[in-house]
Structure 1
Amino acid sequence: MYDDFDRCYRAVQSKDARFDGWFVTAVLTTRIYCRPSCPVRPPHAGNMRFYPTAAAAQKAGFRPCKRCRPDASPGSPEWNVRGDVVARAMRLIADGTVDRDGVTGLASRLGYTTRQLERLLQAEVGANPLALARAQRTQTARILIETTELPFSDVAFAAGFASIRQFNDTVRSVCDMTPTVLRQRARARFGRSDGGTGALSLRLPVRTPFAYEGVFGHLAASAIPGVEEVRDGAYRRTLRLPNGNGIVSLTPQPDHVRCRVTLDDFRDLATAIARCRRLLDLDADPEAVVDALSSDPDLNALVAKAPGQRIPRAVDEQELALRVVLGQQVSIKRARTYAGRIVAGYGRRITDADGALTHVFPSVAQLADIDPAHLAFPTTRQRALITLIRAIADGEVVLDAGCDWNSTRAQLRAIPGIGDWTAEVIAMRGLGDPDAFPTSDLGVRLAAEKLGLPCTQRALAEHSKRWRPWRSYATQHLWTALEHAVNEWPPKEKSDGNLAVS
């Protein structure tokens, strides 16, 4: 969108917050870049330039506006609805792949040479992988500077900088302030932080409308004991991260999500934030979804009832895939029981000072020699689960933020016991494909029947073509038509969850 000057200029003139994250506005006279919705009066059109990312604006020598904080705006929805290599690269960079594995590791994950990947990213987003990762490190550093009392040496290390000097120079260059001034301004505005004990609070921005009841209700209804819980109006869960473990507490608000995160290692902060945003689908473009789905008269009333649905995603694609297999042909309650047994037997224990979380969901490596005694369900499903674990471990099935959606579908369907329903639900909730559609899902078919839509698989699949490319969101809207625990937020004290909604 950034290369359509007239469209971008109209968005800036109207201060339309829907375009925050789609592009940034740079002002030649002040050398500052802003969100499209910045309240400052826009300059003359001849003094404006538009960039696709904050990293591109920073590379061109612009600094973020201190008023609208463009570096803290919602992420571009474009990278979550596309399956091409640039979008896959952007998702992996957000997950911290460059900081962990370097540009060479990122390129290898995508099946490209380093030079090819750099050329593609430079052409489309105006920055190479290192510049994009640098912008992310700077934002992580800014969060730690403003919300904790950590010494700046620890902030630099946690944000991924190679030295204190690099940290100081980058923060001064990007923010036009020293770390000390940044912290002083934050204290003057918000008071002193909670300290540097490992916990910090922040706002996760979100585009409105935000019908959070559906996504939070679904996560609450399917919560695994010990790994997830609802407490004091917040959804809480444990995280397995590259450098340690963490606990996150997420509380929905009409225009943002309040996030409180506790980490073993602050180097995992950017990854934890990215995974929480992915879990709640916070970078979605609700206006585009509403416009597309409302055009179907059979779905219009349902969409109008609760616009802005989000997909209940995952913090770990491999975990989600295993949980979907456990949930085949059983109720949510039974699936929780199955998963809870596996977690108790193989998950790493964790200490939760603020609640009742006890374990981190086990990795594929920890489940490599899983005992069938922990799998108290039909033999065919046991074989499917064990085969999937081995296939992920051997690299035969690739499940990560940057995997190719269609290739992964094919890899999953090649496993005996995994059919279209499982593959589509994993594509929808684990991989984030906005056009996944589990036509055989019981909840989808019951909702379709209730709305007078075709309810046979073939007829419903044909009808769903008019919902493309947003059939995952159509699925979420269909689920909201049911009287079921997945639609209850805050959840009721007791709910049997007998309907097998994924």
Structure 2
Amino acid sequence: MTAIAITPRGPFSLAASMRFLEGFTPAGYRDASDGRVLRLAFPADDGHSTVSAEVGQAQNSEGTVQANVTVHTGSPGKDRMGTESAESNGMSAVRAQLARILSLDVDGSGFPRLAEDDPVVAGLIAAYPGLRPVCFHSPYEAAAWAVIGHRVRMVQAAAIKARIAEHHGHRVAVAGQWLHSFPTPLVLRGLGRVPGLPETKVERLRLLADAALAGDLDAARLRAMPVEDALAHLRTLPGIGPFSAELILIRGAGHPDVFPCHERRLHASMVDAYGLGDPDASDAHRLAGIADHWAPYRSWVALLLRTRREAKAGPAARGRSVR
């Protein structure tokens, strides 16, 4: 186990992140403690190991985020596995991945200034203080979710994803609880039949695992590309259309400044929040023009708008199709 620390730049609340995860169906997150510790288990960006992390946030020292991290190697499905030292595994890469998951790799010190000229953003920041996007563990896992959840209810997709993790991922103990990590690409490429999942989707998952191992779902690479180029690249992957490409770039790679042009529920939330009542109010190009004022945090404001809409709609909204 290795202790790491990340000091947020700008407002950040781990408690807000945990509350968000509890309502984020793909995460399937349920906390059985006092709500102070975030427990995570996920495939590392290296494609072959699994990370478990116990994450907390100090109430002083600028809210430093502290994590006890273990990197697991060996065959999945065993309670005890080998671990690698920080030196041999490259703990800096694991730290960077954890920071990306919590959007702590982005300097958020300028985010509150968006409220100065936009009353809608001001209201969102006030309603959800310190909330930043909590991302999928990797673009690879976001892509897998997109394939599993295509045209099915989110609760059904989440159950299938959880079964895949239970049967094919590592089982690890984190702060007194057992968690199942989603399988690494090396394991997923050998995936067989999955109850409830058509063979077409299973084959797409295998191909996405190959793509991840080939570097086609590398988060740093995707974020370094111009947004349109990154989205075009993602759309070349099996089972990934325009909506899923945006999901992978924003919530998988953690890109902080992308306006989702294909997320209709976000657009509806914008129309409501900004009081746009005319027939062209939901035009994506017009809404993108409004979102230009959110730069360089377009993804962050979009998340708050979506969170606001789901809070108003109630828990039933979370079980709908991902489309």
TM-score band by shorter chain is 0.7 to 0.9
How far 1:475 moved relative to its partner?
0.9
Indicate the residue corresponding to 1:474 in structure 2: 301
Instruction: Establish whether residue 231 from structure 1 lines up as the match of residue 52 from structure 2.
Output: no
Tell me how far apart the structure 1 counterparts of residues 175 and 111 of structure 2 sit (CA, whole Å): 40
Indicate the residue corresponding to 2:194 in structure 1: 374
What SS class does the counterpart of residue 247 from structure 1 fall into?
strand
Residues 437 and 471 of structure 1 are in contact (CA less than 8 Å); yes or no, is this contact kept in structure 2? yes
Instruction: Establish whether residue 210 from structure 1 lines up as the match of residue 16 from structure 2.
Output: no
Q: Unaligned stretches of 5+ in structure 2?
A: 72-82
Alpha-carbon distance change, 299 to 307 in structure 1, aligned in 2, over 3 angstroms: same
Q: Pick from 450, 458, 465: which aligns with 2:272?
A: 450
What SS class does the counterpart of residue 267 from structure 2 fall into?
helix
Q: Pick from 221, 245, 256: which aligns with 2:64?
A: 256
Which structure 2 residues correspond to residues 35-184 of structure 1 after superposition, within 5 A? none
Residues 485 and 495 of structure 1 are in contact (CA less than 8 Å); yes or no, is this contact kept in structure 2? no
Tell me how far apart the structure 2 counterparts of residues 222 and 458 of structure 1 sit (CA, whole Å): 29
Alpha-carbon distance change, 496 to 479 in structure 1, aligned in 2, over 3 angstroms: closer
What SS class does the counterpart of residue 259 from structure 2 fall into?
coil
What SS class does the counterpart of residue 290 from structure 2 fall into?
helix
Q: Percent of aligned positions with the same letter in both sequences? A: 25
Instruction: Establish whether residue 285 from structure 1 lines up as the match of residue 127 from structure 2.
Output: no
- Runs of 4 or more consecutive aligned structure 1 residues displaced over 6 Å after TM superposition: none
Tell me how far apart the structure 2 counterparts of residues 390 and 244 of structure 1 sit (CA, whole Å): 16
How far 1:378 moved relative to its partner?
5.9
Alpha-carbon distance change, 469 to 420 in structure 1, aligned in 2, over 3 angstroms: farther
Kindly indicate whether structure 1 or structure 2 has the higher relative contact order, using CA contacts under 8 Å at least 6 residues apart.
Answer: 2
Structure 1 residues 399-449: Cα deviation after superposition (integer angstroms, max 9, x where no partner): 233444444422221245422211111111222222222233244134223
How far 1:258 moved relative to its partner?
3.5
What SS class does the counterpart of residue 309 from structure 2 fall into?
coil
What SS class does the counterpart of residue 248 from structure 1 fall into?
strand
Tell me how far apart the structure 2 counterparts of residues 213 and 352 of structure 1 sit (CA, whole Å): 18
Q: How many residues align?
A: 293
- TM-score scaled by structure 2? 0.74
Residues 239 and 245 of structure 1 are in contact (CA less than 8 Å); yes or no, is this contact kept in structure 2? yes
Residues 235 and 241 of structure 2 are in contact (CA less than 8 Å); yes or no, is this contact kept in structure 1? yes
Alpha-carbon distance change, 393 to 375 in structure 1, aligned in 2, over 3 angstroms: farther
Tell me how far apart the structure 1 counterparts of residues 282 and 189 of structure 2 sit (CA, whole Å): 40
Indicate the residue corresponding to 2:25 in structure 1: 222
How far 1:244 moved relative to its partner?
4.9
Tell me how far apart the structure 2 counterparts of residues 376 and 498 of structure 1 sit (CA, whole Å): 17
Alpha-carbon distance change, 298 to 455 in structure 1, aligned in 2, over 3 angstroms: farther
Indicate the residue corresponding to 2:287 in structure 1: 460
Tell me how far apart the structure 2 counterparts of residues 416 and 203 of structure 1 sit (CA, whole Å): 37
Q: Unaligned stretches of 5+ in structure 1?
A: 1-197, 488-493
What CA RMSD, in Å, does the superposition of the two structures yield over aligned residues?
3.5
How far 1:292 moved relative to its partner?
3.2
How far 1:248 moved relative to its partner?
0.7
Instruction: Establish whether residue 306 from structure 1 lines up as the match of residue 128 from structure 2.
Output: yes
Partner amino acid, structure 2, of 1:219? L
Alpha-carbon distance change, 331 to 270 in structure 1, aligned in 2, over 3 angstroms: same
Tell me how far apart the structure 2 counterparts of residues 351 and 302 of structure 1 sit (CA, whole Å): 36
